[in-house]
Amino acid sequence: MSETASDFKLPQKMVQNLDVPKSPASLQLDGLDLALHNYVPDTIEEKRLVRKVDLWMIPMLWWMCVLCYIDRNNIGNADAAGMSEDLGLDSSKYSMLISIFFIAYLIMETPSNLILSRVRPSWYVPTIMVIWGVICAAMSQVQSYSGILACRFFLGAFEAGFLPGVMFIMSSWYKKSEIGKRFSIFFTALCFAGACAGLISGAVIAGLDGALGMQGWRWLFVIEGVATVFFGIMAKFVLLDYPQTSTQRLTAAERDLAIVRLIHDRNTTTAMAAKRLSPWQAIRAAVCDLRTYVFTVLYMLDNGSTTVSYFIPTILKSMGYQGTNAQWMTVPIWSVGTVFLLVMPQIADRTGDRRWHVTAGLGMSFVSAVVCFQVKHSITRYAMLCFYISGLYFTLPLILTWAAETMPLPAEKRAVVIAISNSIGNLSAVYGSRLWPTSDGPDYERGFIAVACFTGVCALLAAVAPLLFEVLPRFPSRAEMEVAEGQNIGEREESV
């Protein structure tokens, strides 16, 4: 049986960088207990370990996320290039192509994260990536609405495991003070994907339209699908597994240190960190914790407001930008979003704050949406789109970081909480995609009024969330209470 995220074995050798005092208390400890008892944060060895994990994980996961979002959102670029006309799609059918993706996403996200918590990430994540890449390439051959609808459903089913899976993997490697910055770097891939998609689609559609008898939008699916398959194969040979199972790229001492530093960061004990919940126990622990629903609503309102991203090329066409110019003009919008994603979560990490950074970002998006439906000047609306997208996208990783920090253990519960927040949050795209019908152009007042309401309510909820956490009743299961007791023991030992 393969080792998993929760199979904490206790090796009998201590982490090499720890100076062990020869006291009676330390002599009673062994293995990871001894390492935990004598753990000193932020040593040279620990910093070297974090850099090593960063090197193996962040660049590859970042590029995988870029391709994930390009494959998810290329339907908008294909539509601007004539896909709807070629397949006979009206506005309602096009919106259904977006909705069906997220219906499949909702169904598969939690099961996928439960599977991931029990298998090796270096196998699971690349495998689902290769499969969705094949599906993306296959979309180039569809000839009917039913065909592309089926492809979008299965694309959503296999992409469902990626983003929440990456969130879970990263939260299994990084401490609270480290994870926000990494999440933000990872989420810059979303904005980069938006900018990159415009450049790629503009070049492909202009250069390959009619080649080998295929329309440009079909070539778009082929090229982006093949690129995804290639990176999925590469990822198998690059990604780490969990701290206790990454035997090929980490030494035993490095694996011990990776485990101990997280146990210390979460104020628990090695025995309690080793406790596992069954899938049913994990689901029950997550759904019975009312904090799960606070984060789910936050993510749902935030993510539901991002559905405008599927229609940005169409909205830009209504502003007067035509053809490939509508594709090129998406680039500055996503570039501004990338800057905010790089800067704001790092500030949040340094200050240790999530609440007010999320509130401020959503407040900025709220103001931008209000301006968009009140002002008809094209340049002003374009500028507001830049700030609107920026506020939404830099708060998404902060919400997931906040959730992971609030409920770090048990690991299986954390996996389910992230999956539930992300999956139900993405369900908002089912109705969000209906907010931007072509008939509402060029002003799209109904859509901007709706997302102004979403972001306004979301900003208020983020502001009062810590107060809600104090008053909401909790219904922990017996298994979860045992882990909580372990955390209390860890806190008492730390105080001693």
Task: Count CB atoms within 10 A of the CB of residue 470.
Answer: 6
User: Quick one: pLDDT at residue 205?
Assistant: 82
> Residue with structure tokens 């606070």?
294
More confident residue, 321 or 86: 86
Q: Would you state the structure tokens that stand for residue 237, as one six-digit string?
A: 């040979």
Of the given ranges (296-300, 364-368, 445-449, 484-488), which has the lowest mean pLDDT?
Answer: 484-488
The domains of the chain, with CATH numbers, are 31-495 (1.20.1250.20)
Band of the pLDDT at 425, cuts 50, 70, 90?
confident
User: Which residues share a beta bridge with 243?
Assistant: none
pLDDT digits (tens, 9 = 90+) for 53-67: 999 999 999 999 999
> Residue with structure tokens 């290769």?
130
User: Which residues share a beta bridge with 466?
Assistant: none
**Where are the strands (E) in 102-172, listed by range?**
none
* DSSP-derived 3-state class of residue 89: coil
- End-to-end Cα separation, the chain, in angstroms: 38
User: Quick one: pLDDT at residue 379?
Assistant: 87
Tell me the DSSP string of 292-359: HHHHHHHHHHHHHHGGGGGGHHHHHHHTT--THHHHHTHHHHHHHHHHHHHHHHHHHHHHT--HHHHH
User: Quick one: pLDDT at residue 307?
Assistant: 80
Q: How far is CA 481 from CA 38, 268, 326, 341, 447, in A?
A: 27, 13, 55, 37, 45
User: Quick one: pLDDT at residue 233?
Assistant: 96
The pLDDT mean for the chain works out to 81
Of the given ranges (11-25, 122-136, 449-463), which has the lowest mean pLDDT?
Answer: 11-25
Q: Would you state the structure tokens that stand for residue 452, as one six-digit string?
A: 């102004």
User: Quick one: pLDDT at residue 484?
Assistant: 53
User: Quick one: pLDDT at residue 155?
Assistant: 96
Are residues 324 and 452 in contact, defined by beta-carbon separation less than 8 angstroms? Answer: no
Of the given ranges (44-48, 96-100, 291-295, 403-407), which has the lowest mean pLDDT?
Answer: 403-407
More confident residue, 349 or 462: 462
How far is residue 129's CA from residue 470's CA, in Å, rounded to a whole number?
A: 40
pLDDT digits (tens, 9 = 90+) for 108-137: 988 898 899 889 999 999 999 999 999 999
User: Quick one: pLDDT at residue 482?
Assistant: 57
Q: What percent of the chain has pLDDT over 70?
A: 83
pTM above the 0.75 mark? no
User: Quick one: pLDDT at residue 67?
Assistant: 94
Average pLDDT of the residues in 2-29: 40
Are residues 348 and 398 in contact, defined by beta-carbon separation less than 8 angstroms? Answer: yes
Residue type, 279: P
Average pLDDT of the residues in 38-52: 87
pLDDT digits (tens, 9 = 90+) for 341-386: 888 888 888 888 889 999 999 999 999 999 988 888 888 889 999 9
Instruction: Mark 350-372 as b/e (b = at least 16 C-beta within 10 Å).
Output: eeebbbebbbbbbbbbbbbbbbb
Q: Would you state the structure tokens that stand for residue 409, as one six-digit string?
A: 């253990």
**CB within 8 Å of 414: residues ≥ 6 apart:** 168, 171, 404, 407, 408
- Asked if the model's pLDDT at residue 238 lies above 70, the reply is yes
pLDDT digits (tens, 9 = 90+) for 24-39: 333 334 566 666 666 7
Band of the pLDDT at 16, cuts 50, 70, 90?
very low
More confident residue, 259 or 270: 259
Phi and psi at 12, nearest 5°, equal -90, 5
User: Quick one: pLDDT at residue 9?
Assistant: 41
User: Quick one: pLDDT at residue 204?
Assistant: 86
* DSSP-derived 3-state class of residue 474: strand
Q: Residue 432 burial by CB count (10 A; 0-12/13-18/19+): exposed, middle or buried? A: buried
pLDDT digits (tens, 9 = 90+) for 298-314: 999 998 888 887 778 77
Average pLDDT of the residues in 190-200: 79
Tell me the DSSP string of 27-40: HT--HHHHHHHT--
